[in-house]
Amino acid sequence: MKKHLLGYLFTNNVVRLMLLVQAMCDAIIIIYITNLVELNKYVGIHPTLEIGALITWVVASSWVMATILSFFIFGMSIINKSIFFRQYIFSVVFYFLFFVMMVAVGSLTSQSILQVVELFGLTSLAILTFRIVVFAGYKIYKYIFWKRRVIIIGCNEKGRLLEQSLLNDTSVLNIMLGYFDKAEPTDKYFMFKYAGSLDEVKDFALNNKIDEIYYALPNDPVYIRELSEFADSNFIFLGIIPDIHAQDRKKIHTRYLEDVDLPVISFQYSPLQEQVNSYIKRAFDIVFSAAVLLVLGPVFLIVIGTAIKLTSPGPVFFLQKRPGKSNRVFTCYKFRTMRINDCGELQASKNDARITKVGAFLRRTSLDELPQFYNVLKGDMSIVGPRPNLIQHLSRYKNSMPDYNLRHIVTPGITGFAQVMGYRGETKEDSLMVKRVELDMLYMQNWSLGMDLKIIIQTVFQIFRPGDKAY
């Protein structure tokens, strides 16, 4: 989930350091240029050196803030050329708006517009030049000093996927020097990259100064032990790819039982299965839901409840059984958005005649979900998690979608990663449910409290921009 969620931020210590260096250098460049062209002469009434210095300091601080903010918006990976230039454009726009504001409030007189444009142009050009130099220098440094010479043991699909991953790694230059296997491969993909048999691995690694060896063959304890001793003796990293079938690939968790010297691999791992994380999430749920119910609950209950009662006969709340954690059924609370009907678990569809006018607004803005904060306090739901689907979906998808039941390992949520990514509402096609389950699994495997906060913020924005699937 690196590209989809918090992976945009603070990818590694090198990028974090580059951010700080870049921001400080940007500020130094601005201060130097503004003093070089004597910014104080552009100030309107009673120009003084003190006012010029103050404006210089404000401009420099704004640029640093813009640089940092651009990284948070577009990501931290300065080695990506596209992101690099987007960051620059964003920062220049921010810088331009600052100058417009200075003119608007009279700090810079309208008579000095040309001088302001000159100052803006000079500074922006200097910043761009500096960024390009830093960017190019970083790339050159990486290609000269950050090189890893790699070999893979195993002419098979796992080896192929591993090679693709290594070559796609932009944080370091991986040089693939060849494959090794028990016998010469017949696949053309490996024939031209075949470097020798298993007995030739050690000599090849020493003669070619190999940094990393990856073992992707079926488990051979004797050979792996021998290879491990060789790698340790020669300061070579040895990575062993588990002997797992391709169709079983998903994010796995390895735990080591030290008392019995035994590794344990799990396919169903989620950080929320750890007690400490579950306590943190539960504490956050209680505090957040209690605050919402105390502050907003009475107002929304009166306003929405009154609107529902005045526009259609029936109760204010709609109660429905939903499967929760471990498929335990609970009563889910919502504001009623439909006229009383006997359609049971039939999903709402576009232009559904059952939905009232008030209900349409509530569903579009997700305000009909507010009573579920009571479910959160009870412990049936969480603020963020996989959305609780209908009971009928259990029998429909549990056989056709192997991961469907896994989403019930954790507590369902009022909102979720799938919902903020646009997969909400009706699931006419199975492909929509497949994608929803994939995103739910991604959330479960990468959970963090920061991820929950980001999803909550995105959900709030969706109230104002609900999208075309909100019905």
pLDDT at 203: 94
SS3 state at 104: helix
pLDDT at 360: 84
DSSP 343-408: -TTPPP-TT-TTB-HHHHHHHHHTGGGTTHHHHHHHTS-EEESS----THHHHHHTTT-TTTGGGG
pLDDT at 269: 73
Tokens of 200: 């030739």
8 A C-beta contact, residue 237 and residue 214:
no
CA 334 to chain centre: 29
SS3 state at 238: strand
Q: Is the dihedral of CA 191, 196, 201, 204 positive or negative?
A: negative
pLDDT at 1: 41
CA 278 to chain centre: 21
Backbone φ and ψ of 383, nearest 5°:
-65, -45
Alpha helical stretches, state H, 11-80: 13-36, 49-74
pLDDT at 17: 53
Residues lower than pLDDT 70 in the chain: 1-92, 94-95, 98-99, 101-120, 123, 127, 130-131, 134-139, 141-143, 145, 170-171, 244-252, 256-261, 267-268, 342-352, 425-428, 466-471
SS3 state at 428: coil
Tokens of 310: 């005045």
Axis-axis angle for helices 13-36, 113-145 (nearest 10): 150
What residues form DSSP beta bridges with 320? 332
Using alpha carbons only, what angle is made at residue 82 by residues 79 and 88, rounded to the nearest 5 degrees? 90
The 10 Å CB-count burial string (b at 16+, else e) for 124-150 is beebeeebeebbeebeeebeeeeeebb
pLDDT at 460: 85
pLDDT at 31: 61
Tokens of 182: 């028990």
pLDDT at 236: 92
Amino acid in position 367: L
Tokens of 349: 């569809």
pTM of the model: 0.55
- For 329, what's the count of Cα atoms within 13 Å in the CB-facing half-sphere? 8
